[in-house]
Chains A and B, each alone.
Chain A
Amino acid sequence: TQLLKQSPQFLSIQEGENLTVYCNSSSVFSSLQWYRQEPGEGPVLLVTVVTGGEVKKLKRLTFQFGDARKDSSLHITAAQTGDTGLYLCAGVGGAQKLVFGQGTRLTINP
């Protein structure tokens, strides 16, 4: 069974601070996705990383895929209250099946 572990599970910081969320696995994935989920809604895809070592930026969010394609990180610069939410990483396996991590619940305080 391919498992993804996210850390930390909970993170509460002040607006303007930087943060990093980690997603680790013992298995190799063909690609990895990051989602953001808000209360009462389904997860929304933020980014897909495919190549080992790949770095993608989405405004203040920077996503990195590990060289061995087993781990990934999400770094947010100058966090804003609108960044509050549940961040999920998901490994993409065969037939486009997703294996999700437990998620990191992020709270940005004003």
Chain B
Amino acid sequence: DARVTQTPRHKVTEMGQEVTMRCQPILGHNTVFWYRQTMMQGLELLAYFRNRAPLDDSGMPKDRFSAEMPDATLATLKIQPSEPRDSAVYFCASGLVSDGRGLSNQPQHFGDGTRLSIL
């Protein structure tokens, strides 16, 4: 089965350091989502891309977070500088959203997440 791959699976670093999380979406999916999961807030949408273009990053703290898709096989989420309150599990998900040319919507598939701890 095709899977969304996230790296690293775990990251522990000190506050102030830059953190980069990577995601390889499922081949053929045109939409990539970044989520953050914490015990207090649950799963929150941070940003998403359609055909590599950013569509919505309103859920993301703009001053320290950035999300990019350098190519169709790689999405990145960066935090610089990191803070202890950024500690969470970050999930990437990919899906196929109809573009009006005969494609039907397909559900999102989630990766297994990056567990981030900022000390």
Contact of B48 among A97, A99, A102 (CB under 8 A): A97
Q: Which of A41, A90, A97 has the most CB of B within 10 A?
A: A97
The segment out of A20-28, A42-50, A57-65 that lies at the interface is A42-50
Number of interface residues of A (CB under 8 A): 19
Asked whether any CB of chain B lies closer than 8 Å to the CB of A88, the reply is: yes
How many Å from the CB of A55 to the closest CB on chain B?
19
Interface flag for A100 (CB, 8 Å): yes
**Cα–Cα, bound, A101→B107 (Å):** 17
Q: From residue B85, how far is it (CB to closest CB) to chain A in Å?
A: 19
> Which residues does A use to contact B, with CB under 8 Å?
33, 40-45, 48, 88, 90, 95-103
Given contacts A42-B111, A48-B107, contact A97 B56 (CB under 8 A): yes
Tell me, in angstroms, the Cα distance from A45 to B107 when the chains sit together: 8
The CA of A63 and the CA of B29, in the complex, are separated in Å by 27
Are A95 and B110 in contact, with the CB atoms below 8 A?
Answer: no
Given contacts A96-B31, A97-B48, A97-B56, contact A44 B110 (CB under 8 A): yes
B28: interface (CB < 8 Å): no
